[in-house]
A and B are shown apart, each in its own frame.
Chain A
Amino acid sequence: MLAPEHSVDISDSKPQHSDSINLNENDINIDISDALSEKEKVKFTVHTKTKLPIFQEQEFSVTRQHEEFIWLHDRYNENEEYAGLIIPPAPARPDFDSSRAKLQKLSDSEGSLTRDEYEKMKQELEAEYLAMFKKTVSMHEVFLQRLATHPILRNDNNFRVFLEYKEDLSVRGKNAKEQISGFFKTLTKTADEVFLANQKESDEFFERQKQFLLTYNTKIKDATAAADKATRTQKNITDTYIKLSSGLNTLSTSDKTDLTKYFILLADYFEKARKLESRIQSDIDLKLSDTLRYYMRDSKAALDLMYRRSRCLADFDTANKNLDRARQKNKDVQQAETTQQNIKTKFETISEKAKDELNDFKTRRVQMFRKNLIELTEFQIKHTKAQIQTIKGVIQQYDTLS
């Protein structure tokens, strides 16, 4: 069983920025240098390097838990000033439950497996656990890094506190009341979607964006789910390879003829194939599934922006109507005017910023897909070539046996 305390040394796998790259005046360089898995919690060590005067030190580290990341995200979301911006999606909660459950199941069935099988399955599970761990670290890291590079968001006070403050942020979990209000928020969100879809939009750009984002979000959600399923089903196959390999080895010991060597050869093949297939799958997972998943979240964040804008637009419409009515009745005109003016400004600011953000979203998306699709293909080619080499080697061995 994996030790409950599991520290992953991330630093090895990352290029060491600090020494080689010159820090720009305006840069905030963030990375998660370490992560510790403790019982139910994961503790991330957030390491920052910056020359900005607003920070007390130039290089510092703090320990943060997932909830604190969510807290930060919520602060951004609530802030009216950022209404016109796409808030980077919050990282998903680290979920090792399924991994742990599998590990438990494995140790329960230890008796029914051969030593060999047990070892291999354990290896597989541990690799899976490790991969998930690395992924969650990466997700949390990317979240912070996006904030750090965004010209407006990086200046947020809460962000600074998050990076700097040595103590716990004492982010309590939501109490009952907040959970219920959170629940209602999601309801209103769904209402928003319908609202947004039906809202009349005079601006062509936003109309197009709206249509695009609504559909895109749905489709990419499907694609992400499909990619995950493909990975899962493939994993089942590689698990069976373990059994095959083991069964063939058993067969080879009981078969006392020439066939013994051939069975061993076949068993060997399945073992090698298993390792290669695992790598193939994990690469597909990393390059394709994760990209899809990220953009599923990011497109959701863009949609959130659209909702905010649309609510503002609705308010604007209402304010306009109120103003007209006030003018008609000639009552409270001043007040109505001021309100209308405020909302108008707000709306225009949002729209302006939103335009930039949405364009930026597209650029980012295309870039990331491009990078990952190319890497995906290159990895697949590399692994397939390795498969071919393995099989050729096995065929050669077969020939020498015959």
Chain B
Amino acid sequence: MSNDLEHRSSPPDFGDDEMKDDDQMFKSATLPVTDDIPLSEDDEEDENPFGEPSVSKKASTNINELSTKNDTPLTIPSVTPIAVLESPPMKQDNQFFPSDTGINSIESSTQPVYENQSSAISKPITNENISTTKPIQKPKEDHNIEITVNDPTKVGEGMSSYMTYRITTKTSLSMFKQKEFSVNRRFSDFLGLHTKLVSKHLQMGVIIPSPPEKDSLSMAKVKISKDEGIPTDFIDRRRSQLERYLNRLAHHDKLIQDPDFRDFIEMSSDLPKSTSTQALSSAGVLRALSNITNQVTKLTTKTSEQDQWFEEKHTFILDLHTNFKQLFNHFNTLFTQRKEAGQALKLLSTSLNHLATIEEHTLLSSALIELANVEEKIEQINIDHSLKEYTLISELIKEYISLLEMVQLAFQERIKLHQQWLTAEDTLKKKREAKLKLEQTAKNVDKLPQAEMEINEWDGKVIRGKEEFERISTSIKQELENFEQTRIDDFKQGIQLYFQQLLEQQEKILEIWESYLPEANKINL
């Protein structure tokens, strides 16, 4: 991303005054986000790449659509994608993007992103008032960042101890200082990161992935256990969940640029201890959701087509959430039952062994011992399978349950903004009416300027409210598309791996039984 900035030879030309205004607003709204990005005077240009109306037909229709909403671009600098169909090199870029990640939905045809391109970004496409949200399309090859979480280590002893994890990042993205680097983090650091990300991005309509949940009980066990007794299952599961969490963040176009995230994976010094990590547990999220729904009134005003879309999607998300939860419960039950079956099988194996030692007929005795071995091997295979099943499917579902909750949170945020906007409009109306009243009565003239001022103030608020609302709406739409695409990919892959795993399991079992057959045949009188 910073790549683009450096390589830009001539910044796009934005002569528009209006644009400048937009910039102002934009800047203030997104300041926190764009802090660290090396924006020079090019700032404005970066953010509003669409200055020139030199545009191809395709692009314009797109932009037009977006422009009507008057959105301001978000974390732009990262993306400076602009397709200028005039310049041939860029055209090629169009084919560049395998829409694997599907991030490219609508925009794909029009705005290729060239991450590591050295070609200059020349004329941006736009129409006048638009700085639209840039659909960020990165070809899958450019998601050049992989994070692994390893080496869970216990620090300290007793109830004050904690686990640290080693976070190793391998990347070719130039926004990072090195190609490979590691840091140590503890679990509460993750939760702290999440809190920060939410506070910054939720209002922007970003669907923020959530970290694994706090589990005080299991952690307590870890804390009080001695070295040998550390419950490795729990720690290992947590490790892999943390890994997936970080990778989701890293593959999210907006979040990867977040300075806190980057510090998290890059900065080698310890992070300040995060307190109050309660708030964003899944239970916390749901509580927040129910609170908001209780307070907010429905969108009774114009149910535009967009609102309908949101209504539908919201219901869709809720249904999905409920169904996933149910399914997760069943898979959990399955996991427990498989464990029990494994124990029963082990018991069978042992008792067969005992029987074999008593059995006087030697050949029958060895056949029984072999059978005991068979059962034990099968038990082992089943346990392995059960764990893989859990990782591939159950955990995936669990992740999506909390991801869907984050989606809901984003939806609710939008409703909140809508409320704010409506409230502002309401207040503005009242202020205007008040002013009218004042004007009618000849006296109280001195109160007029103040009233005037208030009206302007609220007018501004109304405009901002509307903008924020529209911005969040657009953003959520985009985010949701990305989200869905990722979801589809994740599950497809999970299911595929699961089937392969099943096949492996059965083939191993077959081998075992086939090698037993001659053993059983050996029994003769």
Contacts and interface: CB of A to CB of B under 8 A. Distances in A.
Interface of A: 212, 215-216, 219-220, 222-223, 225-227, 229-230, 232-234, 236-237, 240-241, 243-244, 247-248, 250-251, 254-259, 262-263, 265-266, 269, 362-363, 365-367, 369-370, 373-374, 376-378, 380-381, 384-385, 387-388, 391-392, 394-395, 398, 402
Contact of A223 (B343, B352, B364, B509): B352
Nearest to A396: B499
A395 B500 contact: yes
Contact of A229 (B347, B484, B491): B347
Contact of A262 (B333, B350, B360, B491): B491
A230 B344 contact: yes
Interface stretch (B223-231, B465-473, B510-518): B510-518
B348 A236 contact: no
B364 to A, nearest CB: 5
A388 B507 contact: yes
B358 A259 contact: no
B491 A259 contact: yes
Interface string B335-356: 0011011011101101110110
B341 A374 contact: no
Contact of A236 (B320, B337, B361, B492): B337
Nearest to A292: B355
B492 A402 contact: yes
B495 A265 contact: yes
Contact of B513 (A220, A247, A258, A380): A380
A331 B330 CA distance: 83
B341 A391 contact: no
Nearest to B327: A247
A42 B351 CA distance: 34
26 contacts: A216-B355, A216-B358, A220-B355, A223-B352, A226-B347, A229-B344, A229-B347, A230-B344, A230-B345, A233-B343, A236-B340, A236-B341, A240-B330, A243-B330, A244-B331, A247-B323, A266-B495, A365-B364, A366-B523, A366-B525, A373-B367, A374-B521, A381-B514, A384-B509, A388-B503, A394-B499
A247 B503 CA distance: 23
B499 A269 contact: yes
> Interface size class for chain B?
35 or more
B371 interface: yes
Given A240-B334, A247-B327, A258-B488, A369 B506 contact: no
Given A377-B517, A377-B520, A384-B513, A262 B495 contact: yes
Nearest to A372: B520
Given A262-B491, A374-B520, A237 B316 contact: no
A356 to B, nearest CB: 16
A254 B320 contact: yes
A374 B348 CA distance: 18
A398 B495 contact: yes
Minimum-distance CB pairs A-B, first 7: A233-B341, A370-B523, A254-B319, A226-B348, A223-B351, A373-B520, A247-B327
Given A230-B341, A391-B506, 12 more contacts: A212-B360, A226-B344, A227-B348, A247-B330, A250-B326, A254-B320, A258-B488, A366-B361, A369-B367, A377-B517, A381-B513, A392-B503
Contacts of A374: 517, 520-521
B513 A237 contact: no
A233 B513 contact: no
A109 B451 CA distance: 67
B344 A262 contact: no
Contacts of B364: 365-366, 369-370
Nearest to B357: A219
B517 A378 contact: yes
B333 A259 contact: no
A225 B347 CA distance: 10
B487 A251 contact: no
- In this complex, which of A232, A258, A365, A370 has the most chain B Cβ atoms within 10 angstroms of its Cβ? A370
A365 B359 CA distance: 10
A215 B521 contact: no
A247 B327 CA distance: 6
B161 to A, nearest CB: 37
Contacts of B498: 266
Contact of B488 (A223, A230, A257, A367): A257
Contacts of B337: 233, 236-237, 240
Nearest to B359: A216
Contacts of B187: none
- In this complex, which of A212, A380, A402 has the most chain B Cβ atoms within 10 angstroms of its Cβ? A380
Interface in B451-495: 484, 487-488, 491-492, 495
A232 B502 CA distance: 22
Nearest to A395: B499
Contact of B324 (A226, A251, A366): A251
Contacts of A269: 499, 502
B174 to A, nearest CB: 34
B341 A215 contact: no
Nearest to B502: A391
Nearest to B333: A240
Interface in B300-335: 316, 319-320, 323-324, 326-327, 330-331, 333-334
A219 B354 CA distance: 7
B516 A377 contact: yes
A378 B516 CA distance: 10
A391 B358 contact: no
Given A370-B520, A398-B495, A251 B355 contact: no
B218 interface: no
B117 interface: no
B334 A237 contact: yes
B496 interface: yes
Contacts of A377: 513, 516-517, 520
A399 to B, nearest CB: 9
Nearest to A214: B358
B406 to A, nearest CB: 18
Contacts of B523: 366, 369-370, 373
A226 B345 CA distance: 8
A222 B351 contact: yes
A188 B118 CA distance: 98
B507 to A, nearest CB: 6
Nearest to B510: A384
A258 B520 CA distance: 49
A265 B514 CA distance: 30
Contacts of A254: 316, 319-320, 323
Contacts of A395: 499-500, 503
Interface string B411-435: 0000000000000000000000000
B506 A388 contact: yes
B506 to A, nearest CB: 5
A388 B525 contact: no
A281 to B, nearest CB: 10
B496 A398 contact: yes
B328 to A, nearest CB: 9
A244 B335 CA distance: 12
Contacts of B326: 247, 250
Nearest to B511: A384
B493 to A, nearest CB: 10
A226 B351 contact: yes
Contacts of A220: 355
A219 B351 contact: yes
A387 B506 contact: yes
Contact of A388 (B341, B352, B510): B510
Interface string B22-39: 000000000000000000
Nearest to A227: B348
B340 to A, nearest CB: 5
Contacts of A240: 330, 333-334, 337
- In this complex, which of B331, B347, B368 has the most chain A Cβ atoms within 10 angstroms of its Cβ? B347
